[in-house]
Amino acid sequence: MQTSYCLYGAGGHAKVIIEILEKSKKEIHCLYVDENYDSEIFEYKISGKSDIFEVRSLNWLIAIGNNSVRKKITESHFLSYGTAIDPSTNISKRARILEGTVIMPGVSVNSSTTIGKHIILNTNSSIDHDCQVSDFVHISPNATLCGGVFIGEGTHVGAGAVVIPGVRIGKWCTIGAGSVIIKDVPDFSTVVGNPGRIIKNENK
């Protein structure tokens, strides 16, 4: 029997995930939000009833773009998580994709790369060989990670950014849209420009 999916969240990101699951011929049970709610997206019911957490046959996906919110939800709810991978993606058979991750249309993931938990690889992003992308990261549309790049937990790589081979980017960083990253970036940094320069560092 095919396992159903439930999405935690009901915004625009959820709409994209719904369409990925539909194309993959997955059953969608409902969408969940943290409040009383009586509506739907497309033909799918939105529920605020916490008893949905007791349905053991569900695979969950957190349909929320904010990286820190996704992490908080996993710490609050011990659920069974699936993945959503658009059929148009090009993913190496030697890549590893972990639970909770969503991979949007047109994404490429090349050989020997590890994509961690609860990650968003957004539309047409490119992840080359031997990269390591840590949990709760968001790689935005058309961003490129060249070979051997490391991305730390919770980092957001902006749309169209490029990270050159072998660079390490720390945890909970923000890489601005269109930036070109040519050297390592420490934890909690905000980087913009070409070449990328640190404009803020929140050393926590």
- Residues 92, 178, single domain; the answer is yes
pTM for this model (two decimals): 0.95
Lowest pLDDT segment from 12-21, 52-61, 72-81, 121-130: 52-61
What secondary structure does DSSP assign to the chain, as a single string?
-PPEEEEE--SHHHHHHHHHHHHTT--EEEEE-SS---EEETTEEEE--GGGGG-TTEEEEE----HHHHHHHHHH----B--EE-TT-EE-TT-EE-TT-EE-TT-EE-TT-EE-TT-EE-TT-EE-TT-EE-TT-EE-TT-EE-TT-EE-TT-EEPTT-EE-TT-EE-TT-EE-TT-EE-S-B-TTEEEETTTTEEEEE---
In a domain, 182, yes or no: yes
Report the alpha-carbon distance of residue 149 to residue 77 in Å, rounded: 31
**Per-residue pLDDT, 2:** 56
CATH of the domain at 30: 3.40.50.20
Name the average pLDDT for the chain: 94
**Per-residue pLDDT, 19:** 97
**Per-residue pLDDT, 3:** 78
The arithmetic mean of pLDDT across residues 86-96, rounded, is 98
Look at residue 38 and tell me whether its pLDDT is greater than 70.
no
Two structure tokens written together for 186: 């420490």
In a domain, 200, yes or no: no
Give percent above pLDDT 90 in the chain: 84
Look at residue 27 and tell me whether its pLDDT is greater than 60.
yes
The arithmetic mean of pLDDT across residues 6-18, rounded, is 95
**Per-residue pLDDT, 56:** 79
Look at residue 9 and tell me whether its pLDDT is greater than 50.
yes
CATH of the domain at 106: 2.160.10.10
- Tell me phi and psi for residue 76, to 5 degrees: -95, -25
pLDDT tens-digit map of 104-118? 999 999 999 999 999
pLDDT tens-digit map of 127-181? 999 999 999 999 999 999 999 999 999 999 999 999 999 999 999 999 999 999 9
- Residues 174, 121, single domain; the answer is yes
In a domain, 163, yes or no: yes
**Per-residue pLDDT, 37:** 66
**Per-residue pLDDT, 50:** 86
Look at residue 204 and tell me whether its pLDDT is greater than 80.
no
- Residue 118 is among the residues annotated as catalytic for this protein: no
Give 1's pLDDT tier (boundaries 50, 70, 90). very low
Q: Which of 29, 129, 138, 156 is catalytic?
A: 129
Burial of 163 (C-beta count, 10 Å sphere; 0-12/13-18/19+): buried
Q: Is the peptide bond before 195 cis (omega within 30 degrees of 0)?
A: yes
- Residues 104, 181, single domain; the answer is yes
**Per-residue pLDDT, 73:** 96
Question: Which residues form the domain of 116?
Answer: 84-194
